[in-house]
Amino acid sequence: MDILRTPLNDVVVVKTSQTTDARGAFARLFCEESLKPHVQGRRIVQINFSHTRQAGAIRGLHYQTAPYAEMKLIRCIRGKVWDVVVDLRKDSGTFLHWHAEELTPSNGHMLIVPEGFAHGFQVLEPASEMLYLHTAPYMPSAEGGLAYNDPRLAIDWPLPPTDISTADRQRSTIPPDFTGLSL
């Protein structure tokens, strides 16, 4: 596993490799020992899966607040997605900056998104599937979200948005007095 830094502090890309032979392929999706410096003693307590049918669909931007803030390890296991993280940490040097990575099974990239970041993605190929490893259980009362089209973020989605949930379409833009999340 190779660790690739991103412009956002504490957000890293984990590049894994796949071994192939006549039978098919094998890849390590998670290794506690290799990721120890980044996971830092957190435990994976929940694993989620998503399947999105339509290219252009956007899921997110979602986060959880303390005490249910979570680190996510995110991997595309089928198709292709444009995965976006937004730094919401109070007093961060990259506050309200975003970063995106293309995730595909073939590039073997997994994104580690620490607590205090919003996460979302746009599907670039139909029938894309994602696997999420979480360090905190989902708690509806701690759920937060950002408008995918917030002008303050100015995320440059690669495709025209085609399919967005009602909840994500109704997200408010970031208030001018928002100073960030305390963890």
Active site (catalytic) residues: 62, 132
Length of the chain: 183
Please answer whether residues 135 and 45 qualify as being in contact, where contact means their C-beta atoms are separated by less than 8 angstroms: yes
Q: How far is CA 106 from CA 16, 71, 103, 121, 160, in A?
A: 10, 24, 8, 18, 24
In whole angstroms, give the CA distance from residue 121 to residue 66. Answer: 23
Token pair of 155 as six digits: 């995320």
In whole angstroms, give the CA distance from residue 96 to residue 98. Answer: 6
Nearest to 159 by CA among 110, 113, 112, 126: 126
Which strand (E) or helix (H) includes residue 84? strand 81-87
Please answer whether residues 68 and 142 qualify as being in contact, where contact means their C-beta atoms are separated by less than 8 angstroms: yes
